[in-house]
Amino acid sequence: MFRDVALVAGKDLRIEWRSRVGINQIGPFAVLVLVLFAFALDPDRGVLAKATPGLYWIAVLLCGLLAIQRAFAVEVADGATDALRLSGIEPAALFLGKTLAVAAQLLVLAALLLVGVAVLYSATLGGWPLLMATVVSASVGIAGAGTLYGVLAAGLRVRETLLPLLLLPVLAPVLIGATRAFEAALAGTPADGWPWFGWLAVFAVIYLVAGAALFGPLLEEA
């Protein structure tokens, strides 16, 4: 099981490393989103500072969508989905491997965006344990839910437009929890943020368990 998880995650990360889509497209897109938010709210610096946690997580979600769509685009391009079904890889291992790869990409993007908000929004980053725990749990939650809904949309011709419609409402709890936790961390009151970290951790665990159980049947329909 763990061998297959590592095999799938390694394959997805190798594809991303070779194609450079994350570095050349999703990363610059993430920075661009932050810049546009800054342009929109610049006249009132107070609003920008206050909205930083929310804007940060909206940027993470938008970039996450791209990473998730990309993770399934490589599978459907030349019929690899069928080949995966023919392989001996357990669907749960496939789900966890793809989730791990997306989460790893999200962690890199989240780190890039942290630098972005520090530079562009003059945000003073603090409460590092809470910040780190929030980034990790939210990234795993986004990746888990995204991989589950990604396979649901993978077999459809309208997958590129359908996935955001399906996924963004589902990820609203992550947006709320991660934003609240970041607000507490940046305000210097991390104790107020840890319950929200718990919320994010529960979300991530629910989707990891549900994804491991449901990925197989959904892959059959893809």
Partner 1 sequence: MQPVIELRGAVALLGRFPALAGVDLAVAPGEIVLVQGPNGAGKSTLLRLCAGLLPLRGGEGRVLGADLRRAARDVRRRVGYLGHRTGLYEELSVHDNLQFWARASGADDADAQRAMAAFGLDGRLRDVEVARLSAGQRRRVALAALVARRPELWLLDEPHAALDHDTRDLVDRLVLEAAAAGATVLLATHEHERADAMAQRTVTLVGGVVTSDTAVPATEASRVP
In the complex, the residues that contact partner 1 under the rule CB under 8 A are: 4, 7, 11, 14-15, 18-19, 74, 77-80, 82-89
C-beta of 219: minimal distance to partner 1 in Å?
A: 11
Question: CA–CA separation, 115 vs 64, rounded Å?
Answer: 17
3-state secondary structure of 62: helix
CA separation for the pair 109, 64 (Å, rounded) = 9
In angstroms, the CA 99 to CA 71 distance is 9
Q: Cβ closer to partner 1: 42 or 82?
A: 82
For the record, the structure tokens of 113 come out as 């965006």
User: In angstroms, what is the minimal distance from the CB of 77 to partner 1?
Assistant: 6
CB-CB contact of 135 with 57 (8 Å): no
Q: Which is nearer to partner 1, 2 or 78 (CB)?
A: 78
Pick 7 or 206: Cβ nearer partner 1? 7
Instruction: Check: CB of residue 185 under 8 Å from CB of residue 131.
Output: yes
Rounded to a whole number of angstroms, the minimum distance from the CB of residue 1 to partner 1 is 13
**Closer residue to partner 1 (CB): 71 or 130:** 71
- Smallest gap from Cβ 86 to partner 1, in A, equals 5
Residue 33 or 71: the one with the smaller Cβ distance to partner 1 is 71
By beta-carbon proximity to partner 1, the closer residue of 19 and 122 is 19
198 vs 147, 168, 181, 206, CA distance in Å? 22, 21, 10, 12
Q: How far is the CB of 28 from partner 1 (least distance, A)?
A: 19
CA distance 157 to 163: 11
The nearest distance, CB 137 to partner 1, in angstroms, is 30
Give the whole-angstrom CA distance, residue 99 versus residue 12.
10
